[in-house]
Amino acid sequence: MTESGPVSASAVRVLIADDEAIARRMLEHAVEQAGYAATVVATGDEAWRALRGADGPLVAVLDWMMPGLTGLEVCEKVRAAGLRPSPYLIVLTSRGAPDDVVRALQTGADDHITKPFEPGELRARLAVGARLVALQQELADRVRALEDALAHVQQLQGLIPICAWCRQVRSDGDFWVQVDDYLARRSGLQFTHAICPTCRERELQDVRKGTGND
């Protein structure tokens, strides 16, 4: 998955993964009636490929039992991969025992729906997932903005005010010192002194002028 701009709840795309054709059509109809775009696949392997791909769906309804990877195995792989943003995973199952629900949640599912599902319940659970992924993306965007602001502040703190004429540096208390003194105090660096070719030539010219030699 790639990071993008803010995600609105109405723009969330929903992945439907179920090996039964009738169930897929019913789920797709319910998802589209709720105002979401649907991506439909028939196996757990296809679901995993869709979720890990670039711009993968942010909400998924996964049937528990499917050819290849099961819905729970898809949940496990998604959580182990650490996809960002993290998709909201709903497991669809005919198993309604508390132990089954606990197992689904422990594998990484965020929610579950029992077959046969009620369209109204599905829409409500999709709305919860859409809100959560939108909030997740908004939080990630704010974190990035804060990181950028911090980096900018650190960059500004690294600026050294230096006189354009004498090249002295302003230190604490508005005192002006030579660059080597400033750096030695701030970094612990030690300096040796030499004369660069430009300065040596300038000094030699001054000496020649003073002695009258060309």
Write down the domain spans for the chain: 9-143, 169-211
Q: What is the mean pLDDT of each run of 10 residues along the chain (214 residues)?
A: 48 91 93 92 96 90 94 95 90 83 91 89 92 85 78 60 74 70 70 76 78 61
Q: What whole-number distance in Å separates Cα of residue 90 and Cα of residue 127? A: 12
Q: Which CATH class is domain 9-143?
A: alpha beta
Residue 182 CB partners (closer than 8 Å, separation 6+)? 160, 169, 171
Kindly give, in sequence order, each residue whose CB lies less than 8 Å from that of residue 18, ignoring residues fewer than 6 positions away. Answer: 24, 27, 42, 61, 63, 66, 92
pLDDT, residue 213, reads 59
Nearest in space to 74 (alpha carbons), one of 104, 39, 100: 104
Residue 193 three-state SS: coil
| Cα 214 → chain centroid | 68
